[in-house]
Structure 1
Amino acid sequence: MEKSRKKDLKEARTLQIWNVIYDVTEVVISLIAGIMANSSALIGWALDSTIEVISATTLGWRLHGEIKGINEEKVKRRKKITLYVIAASFALVCLFISYDSITKLINRETASWSTLGLIILLVSLVANPILIYFKRKYGNKLDSPALLADAKDTFICLYQTVVVLAGLLLVKWLGLWWADPIAALLIVPYAAKEGWEAYSKAKDIDYNVG
């Protein structure tokens, strides 16, 4: 393995480690804020971020394997299993968000203001563009479709951050009780799309068993 590629692989793996640390922090804080404020959007955003944790952790695992010279068939097997796990996780997220949001729309439940939620959303607006930049950088340098796809997932997370933030502010400033569950429902199409893509990619991976 060329020294420059190995160096890039190690730096990309370090990036994924920091990504996991940030995403775990994001999940914990946004879940706490969402539960305290009864916010479907914040809870849905937190659950979607757990998929980011799974994706980033797995990608870091795969990068580590390449650094250590892991067998190609083992890499394929890990990727296939992980993609199925991600697909199943997205499906569960879609079901939860849909049920929770529709129930709140029927019952006309609204979310309370969450300063903690506002803070983590604003932090995410700064952190995600940085992660996207470096994932694209190393994705192109390593010619890695996985890293480039992960950058795309982070971009979708950035979009969702804007949507959830808008819902939170609409409830606060304009008293639109339906803004929070609607903001949560806007996450569902993207989560469903990513889940289907993960499932389709998993089906396309072939490896020798044994």
Structure 2
Amino acid sequence: MNKKRKQNLKEARSLQIWNVIYDIIEVVVSLIAGFTANSSALIGWGLDSTIEVISAGTLGWRLHGEIKGLDERLVAKRKMTTMYVIAISFALICLFISYDSITKLMSQETASWSTTGIVILIVSLWVNPILIYYKRMYGHKLDSPALLADAKDTFICLYQTVVVLIGLLLVKWLGWWWADPVAALLIVPYAAKEGWAAFIKARKIKDNEDIE
């Protein structure tokens, strides 16, 4: 491995570490704010961010493995396990968000205003574009489909942030009580799609590597 690639790998790994640290803060703050305000959208967004933590952490681990020259078959086996965990996590998130949102739509529950929730959403609107930029940059430098895919996931997270923020503001400014659970439900199709994709990837890894 040449010196330049190794340096890029280390910098990309550091990026993923910072990504994990921020996502953990995002998860904790959004879930506390979501449960306090009874906001399906904030809770769903926070739960979805837990997948970002798993994804970023796994990618950082994979980059570390390349730096250390870890056995490729062992990397593949761990990647397969992680994909299964992500798939199951997404399935559970879809079930929870769907049940919570539909229940609130039927009972016409209104989410309370959450200044903390709004703040973390606005911060994410600034942080995510920065993460996307650097993930794409290192993805191209390292010719890494995984980093480029992770940048795409972060972009989708940015979209979700906008949707949830709009939902909360509509509840506050226009009194549209249904905007919060509807914003949460908009997360479900993405979560279902990504969960299925993770399951398919796990199966392909198993088939290609003949992992028992």
Normalised by the shorter chain, which TM-score bucket? Answer: over 0.9
Once residues 42 and 197 of structure 1 are traced to their aligned partners in structure 2, the CA distance between those partners, rounded to angstroms, is 24
Structure 2 residue 209 is the aligned partner of structure 1 residue 207 = yes
- The worse-fitting range, judged by mean Cα deviation, of 42-51 and 188-197 is 188-197
Which runs of no fewer than 5 residues in structure 1 stay unpaired?
Answer: none
Once residues 107 and 211 of structure 2 are traced to their aligned partners in structure 1, the CA distance between those partners, rounded to angstroms, is 51
Aligned residues: 210
Which runs of no fewer than 5 residues in structure 2 stay unpaired?
Answer: none
Q: What amino acid maps onto 1:120 in structure 2?
A: I
Once residues 93 and 190 of structure 1 are traced to their aligned partners in structure 2, the CA distance between those partners, rounded to angstroms, is 11
Aligned match of 2:145: 145
Provide Cα deviations, 1:63-87, integer angstroms capped at 9, x if missing partner.
Answer: 1000000011111111111111111
Give the structure-1-normalised TM-score: 0.98
**C-alpha root-mean-square deviation of aligned residues, in Å?**
0.9
Aligned match of 1:72: 72
Once residues 84 and 34 of structure 1 are traced to their aligned partners in structure 2, the CA distance between those partners, rounded to angstroms, is 27
Aligned match of 1:182: 182
How far apart are residue 39 of structure 1 and its match? 0.1
How far apart are residue 209 of structure 1 and its match? 4.5
How far apart are residue 125 of structure 1 and its match? 0.2
CA contact (8 A) 1:128 1:158 kept: yes
Once residues 154 and 164 of structure 1 are traced to their aligned partners in structure 2, the CA distance between those partners, rounded to angstroms, is 15
How far apart are residue 204 of structure 1 and its match? 0.7
Percent identical among aligned pairs is: 77
Q: How does 1:1-210 map to 2 (within 5 A)?
A: 1-205=1-205, 206-209=208-211
> 3-state SS of the aligned residue for 2:209?
coil
Once residues 79 and 139 of structure 1 are traced to their aligned partners in structure 2, the CA distance between those partners, rounded to angstroms, is 18
Q: What amino acid maps onto 1:48 in structure 2?
A: D
> 3-state SS of the aligned residue for 1:109?
coil
Once residues 185 and 78 of structure 2 are traced to their aligned partners in structure 1, the CA distance between those partners, rounded to angstroms, is 32
Q: What amino acid maps onto 2:120 in structure 1?
A: I
Q: What amino acid maps onto 2:132 in structure 1?
A: I
How far apart are residue 208 of structure 1 and its match? 4.7
